[in-house]
Amino acid sequence: MTIVSNKEFFTHQEKYLDMALNEQIYVQRDNNMFTVSIAGEYEEPNMIFEPDADFYRSITMEEVREKLHRVVDNLYTSK
């Protein structure tokens, strides 16, 4: 376990992040204590999503235009 000041940590970040792989690192700032933890290896997020119910309920911009046209027409022709 190692305790360092926030100034020391930010001055030598790489050193303390490497140390965090093998031991617990605490960063002290005023009366607060923070821990440095390792989340694990970074993996590229999968950005390809399968279609869901919202996708199948969606409409095209042309359909939106047609519906809005009808609404606007009804507003002005009903008076």
pLDDT at residue 79, as a whole number: 60
Residue among 45, 27, 29, 52 nearest 37 (CA): 27
- Helices and strands per DSSP (H, E), number in the chain: 4, 3
CA–CA dist 28, 33 (Å, integer): 5
User: Which tens digits make up the pLDDT trace of 1-53?
Assistant: 999 999 999 999 999 999 998 999 999 999 999 998 887 776 777 777 788 88
Domain locations along the chain:
2-36
User: Which tens digits make up the pLDDT trace of 55-65?
Assistant: 888 889 999 99
pLDDT at residue 56, as a whole number: 83
pLDDT at residue 11, as a whole number: 95
Cβ 35 vs Cβ 24: under 8 Å: yes
